[in-house]
Chains A and B, each alone.
Chain A
């Protein structure tokens, strides 16, 4: 790509970055407010020893016995976050950031894997419906997508586990990481990815929006031109009809899939962020759940940023707007 083409892209991207940072600031504030209002007073534990010291802006109040104002608490907490200090887990006593990042990678694998599964199911059905309209093949497929989207993901998990442990005997019944030492261990990792990919409740919506978008593009004048000149309709419709909508969907569905991951990790004993969040909510382990909420939001915003990058890179008009 030429330098002249990169400059406008860089301009758009720096704007997107700024928006992302502004949103993450908002995210931290929402998390702060929820915890600040909590009767458990989590900040005393989180900011222990910091606010009474001289460097605190509200140090003077502290001497007089007045509790520090909420914004002082927020600012010092935010400063801690920016330095990577998310506090220590009440339950394990370990630093939160390290713990969450360690399991976060598992959740990342699970989430991206299931997104792929969802797309592998949805894209062919959507494309088929665009080409052929509603007929005796696409109609049952659409119906199937509706049913699958309403399926409780935990129950789907049970069915899959039962089938693979009892019927095929591939894994020991005691679920969990430890059981993957058999020669089908790698397969065990695929099960939750498959279950979450099928059962995250978004398939029918993904199919519908892909179909509508592709259908809209297929009716565009320039696709008619492509047909008139004997060129491949798919080649011409790929960018606007498939690539852009797919990245949009991936970005938009990350929060849903992360939510579904909480349940699927529970069902499969998958050592990820979702399971950790569940544990933390049980134990009221504020620092951990806070760290997870913030990292999940970072993940969502990165997905959205990625979508903007693809959009700007693919669409020559985007950088002119």
Chain B
């Protein structure tokens, strides 16, 4: 990609300090991602792989609590250009002894204020977000229409209530909600889950953001509704060209909508590159985890070739005791004797193996 990235995440680490376990939960550990204007980046991984926490870190929605976020989240649009994590490290003091972390102190108030002021003109305006469980994500005490109109009044040039209402109805129509004028007056409890997600999408797009983060937008919906939401997202993508970060554990959704894909595991990125290179079943060079993930999809082809569905053995990585070597080592079925020692002892970097295609695996390195 030649265009300057809209969002550039560099070396993002989001740790939570677990008081009961006296240890860090390294939910996001050394993640770097780029999203260029106009493209859709699909982030795929099992639950607990850190993909949602990455999105929430970008939105500054995990500023409270005893968590530590470090790295860089650069955003560059026509209106703003800044590092959303700038100076936040000043509010955390880590005491170390013998290279072991003894205590972590966080000035929660200072952190929060800093983070809020940093995010104030970004949230909603530059980056909008939609979530899983749309029904609980809409305010049950306000009509759907008013919630959309609120986003319009907050973030667009429209200042009159009536205009905002008209615009909200336009967006309800745009996300294919029947009789939008009536639906404007509905409360979320009167709408189905699919309709609520459409309303959420309308609300996110109504503020005309530079980037849309869709965090598991189909999770918690019925299968038929899921495919309709995906259809809608695909249509909006081709019509509006919104830059999107799509997060899902469902590879079929990712492959349908993404231009580029990042595969996450155990809090870090294992592989990223053009969607066709990574998700094509017969592409040669790819991370063993990605390969395993692809063969675990229930598809006609997988079943036909093997006669059964392949599950990935072992459990999802425990993000407290991260092993020294490759995070996937104990579950990997492609470790060869020549690289076994490296896999066990040293974590590989994310290296480019083809133009725009990076992999974190010793198999592809000298």
Contact = CB atoms under 8 A, between A and B. Distances in A.
Interface of A: 132-133, 135, 220-222, 224-231, 236, 239-240, 314-317, 320
Contacts, number: 73
B120 interface: yes
B139 A225 contact: yes
Nearest to B122: A230
B255 interface: no
Nearest to A228: B129
B189 A317 contact: yes
B128 A229 contact: yes
A240 B150 CA distance: 19
A227 B131 contact: no
Nearest to B60: A227
B170 interface: no
A135 B139 CA distance: 30
A229 B204 contact: yes
Contacts of A135: 109
B186 to A, nearest CB: 9
A226 B137 CA distance: 9
In the complex, the 9 A-B pairs of residues with the closest C-beta atoms, listed nearest first: A230-B124, A229-B124, A221-B136, A230-B123, A316-B187, A228-B129, A222-B139, A239-B141, A221-B137
A75 to B, nearest CB: 46
Given A132-B109, A221-B131, A317-B187, A227 B123 contact: yes
B149 to A, nearest CB: 11
B151 interface: yes
Contacts of A229: 123-124, 128-129, 150-151, 154-155, 203-204, 207
Given A224-B131, A228-B128, A230-B123, A317 B140 contact: yes
Given A221-B133, A228-B123, A229-B124, A236 B154 contact: no
Chain A contact residues: over half helix, strand or loop, or mixed? helix
A83 B272 CA distance: 83
B183 interface: no
9 contacts: A224-B131, A227-B61, A229-B203, A229-B207, A230-B122, A230-B123, A316-B189, A317-B140, A317-B187
* Interface residues on chain B, size class: 20 to 34
A315 B151 CA distance: 22
Nearest to A224: B61
A141 to B, nearest CB: 16
Contacts of A315: 140-141
Contacts of A316: 140-141, 187, 189
Interface in B127-162: 128-129, 131, 133, 136-142, 150-151, 154-155
Nearest to B200: A225
Contact of B139 (A132, A133, A226, A314): A226
Contacts of B128: 228-229
Contacts of B335: none
B196 to A, nearest CB: 11
A221 B137 CA distance: 5
Contacts of A225: 131, 137-139, 200
A239 to B, nearest CB: 5
A316 B190 CA distance: 10
